[in-house]
């Protein structure tokens, strides 16, 4: 009986312990801190925190920040965002040192040794004992503030250093700094900073306010080697200089000095507002802030609960989920104020929806987009609002708006997938039409340098549109594939909004991936501008970024990069080749834990060595491809292999490649739930492909604002480290015989039950009709043929001609009703005069717009007799742009001009003729009216007028901008004049009126 009671007591205790477990308790920020990047820090932050307060110990260079194998620390800096850094603090005692020292020789500076046994990291908290000073440092944060608690020994030389120029991943220089003593408890400062090493688009101003819970006995600082004692302010002046400050204390044994810091990119008052708003309520209670941070993290992580006795898997799951929300940043202040890309202060309409920013969205359709929109749709919605806010201020959607600047980093425009994924999942709390306008612009207007710095749009878009692929001479072959995927996502958005022409145009372009696929070898490959293949094909190597080759990958990997049309790709390759090559690639890459960066002479070169490189973005979808090719059990196998071999649970082997601001983490979370979206959820009716869930039970708590179903449960019966294969499935009580289901089934709530086993069931989900849908199976063969044959320009020209004919006959009738008068002055064929009454504009009753706006030279020739019948005193002619739009050649138009002049001279010999130069256009927008052709016509007309002693009015110096396009200040749309333009035109014409 005693044994029974003892066992019962143990069970009860275990149940009690289990009941107290929280998702946040499984997060270990130390995981993966070896060979990691600047934004993979062990210190505390909040979800998308502005402040990421963390220890640093590496010197300047790639992957700077914290390195687990270096057992000394140089201090704790507040910013660990992509390309951005600054504001380090470091508690010290003893002799003053203002240089940080080196990794190998910490005694050369203020670095301190430490032991990992005295180091602790949790979500929202970090602590370490600095052995050289016998100081315990503890860190926590709110979104925009850092809170530090330092426990000092007894010392007459205790101090806290504030170093503004510190090593980081990209490096930065300082233009100007000033740190000011506000009181014995507070200092404030500003640092104007410029990022370096391919991040020179990013200049930002770091403002901070720092306060202490104990008055300091002196405020001091340094500029370069000079020490300034008992100062009121420390300033570097203008110029790149090492600069910092330090405050000094007398401390007793075990005395705690606390530091609170607010930061802002806007101003010092804004930094103080952030500090007071987020920390005053806690009244210097460090533990309360720590607990509040962990509660915030737990509330987020608790959106997905996993049930399983294997705590190591729970740690891996929640640590990866934590990374998916820790790596990117908020850059608006508590009141919604932020600094835009033009260094202008802006105000958000709703301060409760912060402005996010980050590195590029390159590849996020296979990880972050899926997780954010599923677990936290409000955050996905806010990401859309954030990039639309940037679009409002800068005119373009950002690729990655670090510090609210246009970075231009990476290729293609994957922010499109972020928006379309959200929209098709019912996440629409933003201006949908503006979002659509913005993404269409990305896929229609060629990219260029932005006036505020950085690059916007797609670099190779113009040639891609003209040829249907990116030629090897111009850019990477892989850009063709990336642009085609983006085209698909725009096409799906177009269809959802009922924009049929756009749908057909962009969907036709989505098939452009075929243009770089060589059927004779079964691979995507580099193609020249003349249509020939680049010789000496090799499936590996040819890694590129902007030049020829494959962006951070190789031909093997990019052959499988058709996220929107895997079924179409299988038809091109053949299913057997598709499967056999893929299987061989996994077997080869498994030996290297699916990470190849270490195999090359450098990380970029290494990206092209293996078939499957999960350590980078271009083929993170690879394991799920088998779902489309009739072998879903291989998807289950290789998803599990990647989870086990690539993802670790300790500092050394957490992520073997680039855990790029949560992308690897988000992939793991989705895959551990057994879910994936090949096209990034960008189709009108999104689906989830099924992999191999890792937990016995997973519960998704659906946000009722977006998803009505309450919860969705994924139950994997008998799952274990061996039982990874799906034997059978049921969705909401009904048998499911295919490896996918609709997003709508999930958000309406319910349950997916999977029976798992140790051997693959090669019949489940394997039939061709069970394959997940993609572009080539979503539409019929007939519709596909119509789309591929679609000629938008031809269709719109036909519509235009039809409208012009109707308009012409209407105007002709009006024209014929006008009585002839003496001394008429007629404007003929002036597009710019369309719909205007020029007698009123010029205050001259003799002036008549006898022409029809939109006339072409043929139309004018057909009705010249009506014009000359009144023997007008003066005749002003401007025709030609519509001729070009109708496809007429320059020579054809010039010949018609000669005939027009001859006819007028014959029928009305006393009429004084004026030919106005054809106005320039914005031929990026009105591509059928190229400025080159307009210039050729104008040169001919000028010469013709000189030969015949006819008046030539050259309007180009007045209306052209520095690029030879129609000046935007005079234009409605790059073709027609606005009201201001009409008045300028009138002023020019009045010089010739009689």
Residue of 538, 544, 511 whose CA lies nearest to 525: 538
- Parallel, antiparallel, or unpaired: how do β-strands 448-449 and 455-456 relate? antiparallel
Element spanning 164, H or E: none
Q: Which two tokens stand for residue 596?
A: 């190849």
d(CA 707, CA 653): 37
> What is the Cβ-side half-sphere exposure of residue 485, based on CA atoms within 13 angstroms?
31
Residue of 393, 293, 328 whose CA lies nearest to 82: 328
- Tokens 């194998």 belong to residue: 69
* Greatest Cα pair distance in the chain: 127
d(CA 821, CA 280): 83
Residue of 173, 216, 219, 179 whose CA lies nearest to 197: 173
pLDDT at 813: 53
Residues 91, 112 contacting (CB under 8 angstroms) = no
CATH of domain 23-301: 2.70.98.10
Spell 67-96 as b/e; 16+ CB within 10 A means b.
Answer: bbebebbbbbbbbbbbbbbbbbbbbbbeee
- Tokens 């519709």 belong to residue: 783
pLDDT at 836: 41
Residues 712, 749 contacting (CB under 8 angstroms) = yes
Residues 206, 265 contacting (CB under 8 angstroms) = yes
Helical packing angle, 500-510 and 781-788, nearest 10°: 90
d(CA 811, CA 835): 10
Residue 103, φ and ψ in degrees, nearest 5: -60, -40
What is the DSSP-derived secondary structure letter of residue 466? Answer: H
Residue spans of the domains in the chain: they are: 23-301, 302-324+630-772, 353-459, 792-989
Number of residues that make up the chain:
994
pLDDT at 300: 98
Question: Which CATH class, in words, describes the domain spanning 302-324+630-772?
Answer: alpha beta
Secondary structure (3-state) at 658? coil
What is the DSSP-derived secondary structure letter of residue 408? Answer: -
- Tokens 């879903």 belong to residue: 632
Residue 390, φ and ψ in degrees, nearest 5: -65, -40
pLDDT at 424: 98
Q: Which two tokens stand for residue 980?
A: 């201001």
pLDDT at 11: 46
Secondary structure (3-state) at 695? coil
Q: Which residues contact 782 (CB under 8 A, 6 or more apart)?
A: none
pLDDT at 63: 86
Domain 792-989 CATH superfamily: SGNH hydrolase (3.40.50.1110)
Residues of the chain short of pLDDT 70, as ranges, are: 1-19, 797, 800-821, 829-841, 848-855
* Helices vs. strands in the chain: H and E counts, helices first: 29, 42
d(CA 493, CA 437): 11
3-state secondary structure 507-537: HHHHHHHHHHEECCCCEECCECCCCCECCCC
CATH match of 353-459 with 1.20.1050.60? yes
Residue of 691, 680, 690, 564 whose CA lies nearest to 637: 691
For 192-251, give the DSSP string. Answer: EEEE-SS-TT-EEEEEEEEEESS--SEEEEEETTEEE-S-SEEEEEESS--EEEEEEEEE
Strands (E), 520-626: 523-524, 543-544, 550-551
pLDDT at 819: 62
d(CA 665, CA 671): 10
d(CA 754, CA 266): 52
Spell 944-963 as b/e; 16+ CB within 10 A means b.
Answer: bbeeeebebbebbebbbeee
Q: Which two tokens stand for residue 739?
A: 């490896």
CA geometry: angle at 495 spanning 491 and 498, to 5°? 135
The CA–CA distances, whole Å, from 142 to 137, 265, 293 equal: 17, 16, 7
Residues 88, 56 contacting (CB under 8 angstroms) = yes
The CA–CA distances, whole Å, from 229 to 98, 184, 222, 232, 587 equal: 13, 15, 9, 9, 65
Handedness of CA 732, 738, 739, 743 (dihedral sign): negative
Spell 775-811 as b/e; 16+ CB within 10 A means b.
Answer: bbbbeeeeebeebeeeeeeeeeeeeeeeebeeebeeb
d(CA 260, CA 585): 52
Residue of 342, 36, 98, 363 whose CA lies nearest to 241: 98
């Amino acid at each position: 009986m005693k044994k029974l009671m003892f066992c019962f007591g143990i069970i009860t205790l275990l149940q009690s312990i289990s009941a107290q477990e929280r998702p946040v308790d499984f997060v270990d920020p130390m995981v993966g801190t070896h060979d990691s990047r600047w934004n993979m820090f062990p210190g505390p932050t909040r979800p998308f925190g502005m402040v990421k307060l963390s220890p640093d110990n590496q010197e300047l260079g790639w992957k700077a920040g914290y390195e687990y194998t270096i057992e000394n620390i140089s201090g704790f800096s507040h910013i660990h965002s992509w390309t951005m850094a600054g504001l380090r603090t470091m508690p010290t005692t003893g002799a003053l040192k203002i240089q940080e020292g080196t990794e190998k020789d910490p005694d050369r500076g203020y670095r301190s040794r430490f032991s990992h046994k005295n180091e602790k990291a949790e979500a929202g908290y970090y602590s370490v004992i600095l052995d050289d000073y016998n100081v315990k440092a503890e860190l926590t944060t709110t979104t925009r503030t850092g809170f530090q608690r330092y426990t000092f020994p007894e010392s007459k030389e205790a101090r806290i250093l504030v170093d503004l120029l510190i090593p980081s991943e990209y490096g930065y220089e300082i233009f100007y700094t000033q740190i000011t003593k506000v009181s014995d408890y507070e200092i404030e400062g500003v640092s104007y900073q410029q990022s370096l090493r391919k991040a020179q688009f990013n200049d930002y101003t770091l403002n901070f306010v720092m306060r202490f819970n104990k008055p300091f006995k002196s405020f001091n600082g340094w500029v370069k080697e000079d020490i300034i004692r008992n100062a009121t302010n420390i300033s570097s002046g203008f110029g790149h200089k090492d600069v910092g400050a330090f405050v000094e204390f007398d401390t007793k044994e075990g005395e705690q000095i606390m530091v609170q810091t607010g930061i802002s990119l806007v101003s010092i008052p804004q930094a103080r507002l952030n500090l007071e708003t987020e920390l005053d309520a806690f009244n210097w209670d460090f533990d309360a802030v720590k607990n509040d941070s962990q509660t915030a993290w737990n509330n987020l992580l608790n959106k997905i609960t996993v049930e399983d006795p294997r705590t190591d898997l729970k740690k891996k799951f929640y640590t990866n989920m934590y990374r998916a929300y820790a790596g990117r940043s908020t850059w608006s202040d508590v009141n919604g104020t932020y600094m835009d890309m033009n260094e202008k202060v802006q105000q958000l309409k709703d301060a409760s929806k912060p402005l996010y920013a980050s590195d590029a969205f390159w590849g996020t359709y296979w990880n972050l987009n899926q997780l954010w929109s599923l677990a936290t749709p409000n955050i996905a919605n806010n990401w859309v609002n954030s990039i639309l806010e940037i679009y409002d201020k800068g005119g373009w959607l950002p690729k990655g708006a670090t510090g609210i600047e246009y970075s231009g980093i990476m290729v293609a425009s994957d922010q499109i997938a972020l928006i379309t994924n959200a929209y098709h999942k019912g996440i629409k709390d933003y201006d949908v039409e503006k979002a659509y306008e913005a993404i269409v612009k990305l896929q229609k207007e060629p990219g260029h340098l932005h006036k505020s710095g950085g690059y916007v749009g797609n670099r190779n878009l113009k040639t891609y549109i003209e040829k249907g692929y990116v030629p090897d001479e111009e850019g990477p072959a892989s850009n063709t594939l990336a642009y085609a995927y983006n085209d698909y996502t725009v096409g799906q958005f177009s269809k959802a909004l009922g924009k049929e022409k756009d749908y057909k145009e962009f969907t036709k372009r989505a098939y452009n991936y075929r243009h770089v696929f060589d059927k004779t070898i079964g691979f995507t490959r580099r193609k020249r501008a003349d249509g020939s293949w680049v010789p000496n094909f090799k499936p590996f190597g040819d890694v590129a970024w902007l030049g020829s080759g494959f962006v951070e990958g190789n031909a093997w990997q990019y052959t499988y990069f058709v996220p929107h049309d895997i079924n179409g790709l299988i038809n091109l390759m053949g299913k057997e080749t598709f499967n056999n090559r893929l299987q061989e690639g996994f077997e080869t890459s498994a030996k290297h834990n699916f990470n190849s960066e270490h195999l090359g002479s450098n990380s970029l070169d290494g990206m092209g060595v293996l078939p499957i490189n999960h350590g980078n973005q271009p083929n993170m979808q690879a394991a799920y491809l088998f779902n489309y090719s009739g072998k879903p059990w291989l998807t289950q196998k290789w998803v599990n292999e990647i989870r086990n071999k690539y993802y670790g649970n300790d500092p050394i082997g957490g992520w073997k490649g680039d855990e790029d601001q949560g992308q690897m983490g988000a992939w793991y979370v989705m895959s551990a739930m057994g879910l994936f979206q090949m096209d990034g959820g960008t189709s009108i009716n999104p689906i989830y492909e099924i992999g191999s869930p890792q937990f016995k039970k997973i519960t998704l708590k659906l946000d009722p604002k977006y998803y009505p179903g309450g919860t969705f449960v994924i139950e994997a019966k008998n799952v274990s480290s061996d039982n990874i294969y799906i034997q059978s499935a049921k969705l909401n009580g009904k048998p499911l015989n295919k490896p996918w289901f609709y997003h709508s089934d999930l958000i309406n709530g319910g349950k997916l039950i999977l029976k798992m086993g140790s051997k693959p069931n090669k019949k489940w989900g394997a039939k061709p009709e069970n394959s997940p849908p993609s572009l080539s199976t979503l539409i019929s063969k007939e519709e596909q043929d119509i789309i591929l044959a679609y000629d938008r320009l031809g269709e719109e020209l036909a519509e235009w001609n039809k409208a012009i004919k109707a308009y012409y006959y209407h105007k002709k009738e009006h024209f014929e009703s006008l009585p002839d008068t003496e001394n008429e002055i007629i404007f003929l064929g002036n597009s710019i005069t369309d719909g205007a009454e020029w007698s009123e504009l010029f205050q001259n009753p003799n002036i008549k717009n006898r022409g029809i706006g939109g006339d072409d030279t043929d139309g004018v020739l057909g009705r010249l007799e009506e014009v000359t019948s009144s023997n007008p005193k003066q005749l002003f002619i401007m025709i030609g742009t519509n001729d070009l739009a109708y496809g007429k050649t320059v020579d054809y138009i010039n010949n018609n001009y000669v005939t027009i002049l001859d006819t007028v001279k014959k029928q009305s010999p006393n009429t004084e003729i004026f030919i106005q130069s054809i106005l320039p256009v914005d031929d990026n927008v009105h591509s059928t009216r190229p400025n080159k052709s307009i210039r050729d016509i104008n040169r001919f007309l000028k010469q013709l007028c000189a030969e015949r002693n006819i008046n030539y009015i050259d309007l180009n110096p007045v209306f052209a901008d520095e690029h030879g396009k129609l000046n935007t200040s005079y234009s409605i749309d790059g073709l027609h004049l606005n009201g201001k333009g009409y008045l300028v035109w009138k002023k020019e014409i009045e010089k010739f009126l009689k």
